[in-house]
Amino acid sequence: MSHAGPAGPVSPNSKADNPRMAICAPEELRREIAPGSRLLGLDLGSKTIGLALSDPGLSVASPIDTIRRTKFGKDATALEHIVEERGVGGLVIGLPMNMDGTEGPRCQSTRQFAANLISRGFTLPMAFWDERLSTAAVERFLVDEADMSRRRRAQVVDKMAAAYILQGALDRLRAR
């Protein structure tokens, strides 16, 4: 699956504004995480969280799982377990920008999710990545290339979208 399209970096709030903030620019992730640790990509939806994991070399994103969303505390605990089990050193969170580049309610919800993680004591660096059209691109791939049924697509689209988001960030890291 190629990575052409509008996905790109999204500027975080400044660390100077809030020193407790674990949010950084995508380009800063490589120096912010421990050597050999992985990045976890998140595609936050209203019902699920798609997850993807990078290799330790930060080159390739692979879809790994989907968390069925319940309450924030349970979602955060599930993420914390994955971070621990998989040697994750940072997060790349898809930011659902509007097509005109503005931020709407879904972006606010995503930023609040990250802020809630920080309030909970989550200290790993996090970066937002513009996820415009990521789900559409994955759906198109699954229909055109993988010839998947609608039911099977529904089972994998969220984690595949997370991989698409994470791969965009990894490609940016490699380009620097």
Residue-by-residue DSSP string for 153-174: HHHHHHHHHHHHHHHHHHHHHH
Structural domains for the chain: 37-175 (3.30.420.140)
Residue 6 confidence (pLDDT) above 80: no
Residue 33 confidence (pLDDT) above 80: yes
Q: What is the pLDDT of residue 153?
A: 56
Average confidence (pLDDT) over 91-100: 91
Compare 146 and 20 and report the one with higher pLDDT: 146
**What confidence category does residue 52 fall into, taking pLDDT thresholds of 50, 70 and 90?**
very high
Q: Can you say how many angstroms the Cα of residue 109 is from the centroid of all Cα atoms in its chain? A: 14
d(CA 67, CA 51): 8
Q: What is the pLDDT of residue 123?
A: 92
Residue 9 confidence (pLDDT) above 50: no
Q: Can you say how many angstroms the Cα of residue 120 is from the centroid of all Cα atoms in its chain? A: 19
Q: What is the pLDDT of residue 19?
A: 41
d(CA 116, CA 123): 11
CB 92 within 8 A of CB 42: yes
Q: What is the pLDDT of residue 138?
A: 63
Q: What is the pLDDT of residue 116?
A: 96
Compare 95 and 138 and report the one with higher pLDDT: 95
Chain mean pLDDT for the chain? 82
Backbone angles phi, psi at 17, to 5 degrees: -65, -30
